[in-house]
Amino acid sequence: MNLLFEDEGQIKAGAILSDKDNALQIELPGGRRIKVKAASVLLRFETPTAAQLLAEASTLATAQAGGSGIDMQLLWESAEGAADGEDFGFVDLAREYFGVAATPVQQAATALALQHAPMYFYKRGKGRYKRAPEGALKAALASIERKAREAEQVDAWVKELVAGCAPAEIAVQWAALLHAPDRQSLAYKALAAAADRARMAPVHLLARAGAIPSTHALHFEKFLRATFPKGIAFPAGAAVPPIPDLTEADVAAFSIDDDSTTEIDDAFSLSALPGGGWRLGIHIAAPAVAIVPGSALDRVARDRLSTVYMPGNKITMLPDAVVGAFSLDAGKTPPALSLYAELDADLNVVATRTTLERVAMASNLRIPVLDQGRWLEPGHDGAADNPHAASLRILLAFAKKLAAERGDQAVNRVDYNFAVTGDPDAADCRIDISTRQRGSPVDTLVSELMIFANVSWAKALAAREWVGMFRVQGAGKTRMSTAPGAHEGLNVPCYLWATSPLRRYSDLVNQRQLIALTREEAAPYQRGNAELLSAVADFDATYSGYAEFQQQMEFYWCLRYLQQESIDKLTARVIRENLVRFDRLPIVQRINDMPFQAPGMQVVLAVAEVDLFEPALHVRFVETVPGTPDSTDDA
């Protein structure tokens, strides 16, 4: 006698060696002997042998295309007589399907078919099943069919990607697949499988297939996905708000900015006083006069917190139309928050006052022109390229006086200007990198007058014990605070940002406070204001993140510059140990194979590899430049 039984979820067969009460001794076809509980017995049979029965039943259980086998749909229909919720044994179903004389092979085949078709029948115990409802069965079969189609689609995409072609469905979502993938999507599964098969990183596989527009797009999209998951388009409700009527000032102002600046926040004016001395005007664009806290525009600015800068592009904090309405562009008379300082003949500050007004903009001066220095010479007064030369010289003298009073140290630092010509994603896009020494007369003039305005306004809020977004620096750390505090780096008792309200949310918030102070109104932000505390908490991290991205993109464009100019060797100055600062490029990097060099030594480095995908620059040490300090001097 032979036995069909269930063991650990599998259907097996063997010859009975002994049969005692609740257990049987069974010999499997391979010769191994096991003990089987009586409750696990499914079927007893004499012929054929256990091995033959399993072989024939397995063949019969699976329907073959164009051949014999159990048809699961027909088997399901054969169980139609069972009442809903009623279970049945597999032998009974075998007799319904094959006839009352169903053989042991046919009965065993039915058991195997039922076990491997859970969408048709639900198991209710050893050898017992329940017929799946028709709706559930249709859904299960549709799911299986869908999965088969999906598997076929994934396989087709994998083959295309491995062959170096990007299917349209994958090419259109390359950024999401790399930076914010849905790991359950078919496209991601295809990309992962293709990358594994091709033994390539997904980014390189997509690049080879032509799906990624450029390495620039790769890094820009990564930043956008992480920082602006909802996109950078402004909402429809962020329109230009009505601007109230304001009195027009009796001055003609001029601004000083880089060539690429479009958000002109600050400007200056200088008028001679009848009794001697001067009236200095520092005029700041005043979007806070119209952008109401909690409005659609305010929510946009609060979400972004700052304009994001990068070579060849920027993401503005406010829509272009709003910037245009408040920017201090030449020929316009936009609203401005003006700080007026009365100066005596020796340029000492006698008095200050703040007012909200409209200011006529006479000129937008550009730093590259001013850097030529012609305005420093009295003989160039009234020149067509700069009619404000005489005022600039007085402002520079005042700025130097302010710097001296603060104990400011001369800055010996180089600024790098990146000029991107053409589409950044195009292969023929050109990058030009130029240098500019910090601490020029223009730098001194602008920076000191901005510090003067920000300190003056910080003091005004502090005197009234009003909160704001103050900049506090101590022990080398700078942070935002709602309360005023010393700024050790600038050597001032309190400081805030209020001179760039078109570009920084902190400045917009502070300008609201200053306008209310000027108008003798209640402060928009009271102590403990939740919105202000939230903005203070978020600003530093966001602002630092934007600055880090700007540095990353500047490094990327440095690599593009090396490729563009076919540069294979560079020089650098040693900072300490194996850390060097490149000459003529804003790159600081460790050189692993460089032997010890004293600080200040100039070394020659060979470009080994430029990786625009990472991005990364791999260089190797070549030699020390002759004539630089001997490394043994400081050993």
Task: Dump pLDDT digits (tens) for 46-62.
Answer: 999 999 999 999 999 88
Strand 278-285, strand 266-272: pairing: antiparallel
- 113 with 160, same domain: the answer is no
Check pLDDT > 70 for residue 411: no
428 near 408, Cβ under 8 Å? Answer: no
Compute the residue count for the chain.
635
Residue 363 burial by Cβ neighbours in a 10 Å radius (0-12, 13-18, 19+): middle
420 near 557, Cβ under 8 Å? Answer: yes
Residue that the structure tokens 């919105």 belong to? 531
Q: Following DSSP, what letter does each residue of 296-331 receive, concatenated?
A: HHHHHHHHH-B-EEETTEEE-SS-HHHHHHHS--TT
281 near 338, Cβ under 8 Å? Answer: yes
Percent of the residues in the chain that have a pLDDT greater than 90, as a whole number: 80
- CA–CA gap between residue 191 and residue 536 (Å, rounded): 42
Beta bridge mates, 425: none
The number of domains in the chain is 4
Where a domain ends, among 513, 546, 579? 546
201 CB neighbour count, 10 Å cutoff: 12
pLDDT at 436: 83
pLDDT at 425: 92
- N- to C-terminal Cα separation, the chain: 94
- The mean per-residue pLDDT over the stretch 522-535 comes to 96
- The mean per-residue pLDDT over the stretch 289-312 comes to 95
- 349 with 308, same domain: the answer is yes
- The mean per-residue pLDDT over the stretch 411-440 comes to 89
Check pLDDT > 50 for residue 141: yes
334 near 283, Cβ under 8 Å? Answer: no
Tokens, residue 65: 């295309």
pLDDT at 45: 94
- The mean per-residue pLDDT over the stretch 409-427 comes to 86
- The mean per-residue pLDDT over the stretch 68-97 comes to 85
pLDDT at 621: 96
- CA–CA gap between residue 459 and residue 451 (Å, rounded): 12
Query: Which of the residue ranges 17-26, 447-456, 473-482 has the most confident prediction, judged by mean pLDDT?
Result: 447-456
pLDDT at 510: 98
Where a domain ends, among 517, 546, 575? 546
| pLDDT tens, position by position, 533-559 | 999 999 999 999 999 999 999 999 999
pLDDT at 83: 57
Q: Is residue 108 part of a domain?
A: yes
Check pLDDT > 90 for residue 507: yes
- The mean per-residue pLDDT over the stretch 150-161 comes to 96
| pLDDT tens, position by position, 354-366 | 999 999 999 999 9
pLDDT at 380: 67
The closest alpha carbon to 543, from 352, 306, 325, belongs to 306
- CA–CA gap between residue 145 and residue 254 (Å, rounded): 72
The percent helix, strand, coil of the chain (3-state, each to 5) is 40, 25, 35
628 near 602, Cβ under 8 Å? Answer: yes
Q: Is residue 138 part of a domain?
A: no
Comparing 52-66, 429-443, 550-564, the range with the smallest average pLDDT is 52-66
- 367 with 443, same domain: the answer is yes
Check pLDDT > 90 for residue 626: no
- Where residue 626 sits, what CATH number does that domain have? 2.40.50
Check pLDDT > 80 for residue 513: yes
For residue 515, which amino acid is it?
I
pLDDT at 260: 85
pLDDT at 410: 65
41 CB neighbour count, 10 Å cutoff: 18
Q: Following DSSP, what letter does each residue of 492-517 receive, concatenated?
A: BS--B--S-TTTBHHHHHHHHHHHHH
- 17 with 117, same domain: the answer is yes
Q: Is residue 144 part of a domain?
A: no
For residue 289, which amino acid is it?
V
- CA–CA gap between residue 210 and residue 425 (Å, rounded): 13
Percent of the residues in the chain that have a pLDDT greater than 70, as a whole number: 96
Model confidence band, residue 117 (pLDDT cutoffs 50, 70, 90): confident
Contacts of residue 455, Cβ cutoff 8 Å, sequence gap at least 6 = 490, 492, 493, 494, 495
- 184 with 286, same domain: the answer is no
Q: Is residue 583 part of a domain?
A: yes
Model confidence band, residue 633 (pLDDT cutoffs 50, 70, 90): very low
- 512 with 417, same domain: the answer is yes
Q: Is residue 559 part of a domain?
A: no
For residue 241, which amino acid is it?
P
**Summary mean pLDDT of the chain:** 92
Q: How far is CA 565 from CA 216, 559, 568, 585, 602, in A?
A: 18, 10, 9, 13, 22
Check pLDDT > 90 for residue 370: no
Q: What is the largest CA-CA distance in the chain?
A: 128
Comparing 6-20, 183-197, 313-327, the range with the smallest average pLDDT is 6-20
Check pLDDT > 80 for residue 280: yes
Q: Is residue 541 part of a domain?
A: yes
- 108 with 205, same domain: the answer is no
- 503 with 356, same domain: the answer is yes
- CA–CA gap between residue 582 and residue 127 (Å, rounded): 78
- CA–CA gap between residue 635 and residue 628 (Å, rounded): 15
pLDDT at 382: 59
Q: Is residue 142 part of a domain?
A: no
Q: Is residue 225 part of a domain?
A: no
- 357 with 480, same domain: the answer is yes
Q: What φ, ψ does residue 137 adopt, rounded to 5°?
A: -65, -45
Model confidence band, residue 21 (pLDDT cutoffs 50, 70, 90): confident
- 539 with 571, same domain: the answer is no
The H or E element spanning position 607 is strand 602-611
272 Cα distance to chain centroid: 51
- CA–CA gap between residue 348 and residue 369 (Å, rounded): 29
Where a domain ends, among 86, 106, 132? 132
Strand 477-481, strand 470-474: pairing: antiparallel
pLDDT at 414: 87
Q: Which residue has the higher pLDDT, 316 or 67?
A: 316
- 203 with 342, same domain: the answer is no
Model confidence band, residue 84 (pLDDT cutoffs 50, 70, 90): low
Query: Which of the residue ranges 56-65, 117-126, 554-563 has the most confident prediction, judged by mean pLDDT?
Result: 554-563
DSSP SS3 for 247 = coil
- 477 with 604, same domain: the answer is no
- CA–CA gap between residue 96 and residue 81 (Å, rounded): 9
Check pLDDT > 80 for residue 630: no
Beta bridge mates, 351: 342
Tokens, residue 119: 């969408």
* Containing structural domain, residue 538: 249-546
Model confidence band, residue 385 (pLDDT cutoffs 50, 70, 90): low
The closest alpha carbon to 361, from 261, 245, 269, 244, belongs to 269
Check pLDDT > 50 for residue 635: no
